[in-house]
């Protein structure tokens, strides 16, 4: 039978463990607040990493475009601009380069001489920035963000002169599909809850994704972003800024300039997520930590009870197991 003094010691031990647990709760509350802030910073860093990945892929695609045009310029069928050999050759090549929208050869008069797509009428491209820059410098040149005159897609034009340096010659050009920036660096479709926008330096919207569900915003393409939407970043490092998106929802944006070694800065991108979504993901992680704390507290109290019951309750004070009591 357990005597009163043993039961009292057991209760005292439980109270001692409980009192020792209270400061731990205070420490955990403070650590939990710091942990929440760190998790929010980690989510912001994830946005920044995505923006940096897109900017890196953009630079790689521009460099690939230069190599691509340089390779094509070696084919006599293209240099001669003979129809239909030139057109057929460019059309076949384009089938293997899905991130480019069109390949053209533009004559010295500014009109398209041949291309992977054939317009119904003569097409003048002599006013395009990539053509003007390539004609004036006679080296590979990058143009500006714009909407393709043939495809209507948001593109970046790139051009390479077909003649020797210092001599006017036709220009071989291609256009990079800016929509591909939203999927290629991310390994597939844009994740749920993200918005992806590409703008030129004048804040004109060239790419806006997603274009389905609650975020159908195709009308924003070609429009000028409002003052509450993040503008071009200062410097080359990505930044996190709050802003009002085109759908009127406040989001956190990772903003990063898009520039190439050949063309400077052609525009910038903004990858957005709502703060509510970020906090929901952070709270889920914090709730998991609280579950572990609760389980740990229950286990600690159970161990204290077991210790008091099986040790102190069986060994009352003044007695040792197996010791005989002396007669009075």
Q: Do domains 1-59+189-317 and 73-180 have the same CATH topology?
A: yes
For the chain, the straight-line distance linking the first and the last C-alpha, in angstroms and rounded, comes to 22
pLDDT (average), residues 56-68: 93
Predicted pLDDT of residue 250: 87
Q: Give tens-digit pLDDT for 176-190.
A: 999 989 887 666 667
Domain ranges of the chain: 1-59+189-317, 73-180
Residue tagged 């731990």 (tokens): 24
Higher local confidence (pLDDT), 318 or 296: 296
pLDDT band of residue 264 (cuts 50, 70, 90) is: confident
pLDDT band of residue 168 (cuts 50, 70, 90) is: confident
**Whole-number mean pLDDT of the chain?**
80
Whole-prediction pTM value? 0.74
Predicted pLDDT of residue 249: 86
Predicted pLDDT of residue 64: 94
pLDDT (average), residues 220-234: 87
Q: Could you tell me which of 65, 203, 56, 199 has the C-alpha nearest to residue 130?
A: 65
Q: Give tens-digit pLDDT for 5-40.
A: 556 666 666 676 666 666 666 666 665 666 666 667
Q: Give tens-digit pLDDT for 283-302.
A: 666 666 666 666 776 676 67
Q: Give tens-digit pLDDT for 109-137.
A: 999 999 998 888 889 999 999 999 999 98
β-strand pairing of 239-244 with 250-260: antiparallel
Give the CATH fold of the 73-180 domain.
Beta-Lactamase (3.30.450)
Residue tagged 């036709």 (tokens): 170
Predicted pLDDT of residue 328: 44
Cis amide linkage into residue 84, ω under 30° from 0: yes
Instruction: Quote the CA–CA distance of 195 and 209 in Å, as a whole number.
Output: 6
Cis amide linkage into residue 210, ω under 30° from 0: yes
Thinking of the domain 1-59+189-317, which architecture would CATH place it in?
2-Layer Sandwich (3.30)
Predicted pLDDT of residue 1: 47
Is pLDDT at 3 greater than 60 in this prediction? Answer: no
pLDDT (average), residues 243-267: 85
Is pLDDT at 191 greater than 70 in this prediction? Answer: yes
Residue tagged 């085109």 (tokens): 246
């Amino acid at each position: 039978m357990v005597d009163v003094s043993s039961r009292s010691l057991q209760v005292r031990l439980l109270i001692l463990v409980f009192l020792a647990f209270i400061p731990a709760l205070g420490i955990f509350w403070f650590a939990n607040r710091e942990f929440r802030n760190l998790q929010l910073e980690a989510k912001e860093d994830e946005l920044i990493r995505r923006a940096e990945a897109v900017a890196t892929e953009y630079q790689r695609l521009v460099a690939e475009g230069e190599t691509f045009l340089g390779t094509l310029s070696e084919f006599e069928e293209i240099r001669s601009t003979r129809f239909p050999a030139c057109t057929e050759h460019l059309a076949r090549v384009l089938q293997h380069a899905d991130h480019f929208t069109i390949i053209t050869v533009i004559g010295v008069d500014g009109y398209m001489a041949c291309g992977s797509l054939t317009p119904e009428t003569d097409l003048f491209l002599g006013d395009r920035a990539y053509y003007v820059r390539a004609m004036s410098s006679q080296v590979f040149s990058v143009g500006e963000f714009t909407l393709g005159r043939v495809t209507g897609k948001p593109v970046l034009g790139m051009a390479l002169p077909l003649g020797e340096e210092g001599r006017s010659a036709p220009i071989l050009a291609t256009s990079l599909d800016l929509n591909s920036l939203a999927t290629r660096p991310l390994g597939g479709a844009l994740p749920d809850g993200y918005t992806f926008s590409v703008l030129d330096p004048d804040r004109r919207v060239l790419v806006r994704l997603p274009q389905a569900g609650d975020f159908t915003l195709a009308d924003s393409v070609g429009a000028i972003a409002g003052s509450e939407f993040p503008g071009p970043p200062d410097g080359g490092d990505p930044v996190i800024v709050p802003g009002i998106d085109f759908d009127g929802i406040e989001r956190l944006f990772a903003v990063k300039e898009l520039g190439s070694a050949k063309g400077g800065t052609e525009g910038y991108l903004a990858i957005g997520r709502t703060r509510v979504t970020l906090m929901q993901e952070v709270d889920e992680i914090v709730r998991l930590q609280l579950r572990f704390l609760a389980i740990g507290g229950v286990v600690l109290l159970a161990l204290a009870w077991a210790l008091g019951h099986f040790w102190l309750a069986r060994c009352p004070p003044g007695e040792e197991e197996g010791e005989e009591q002396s007669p009075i």
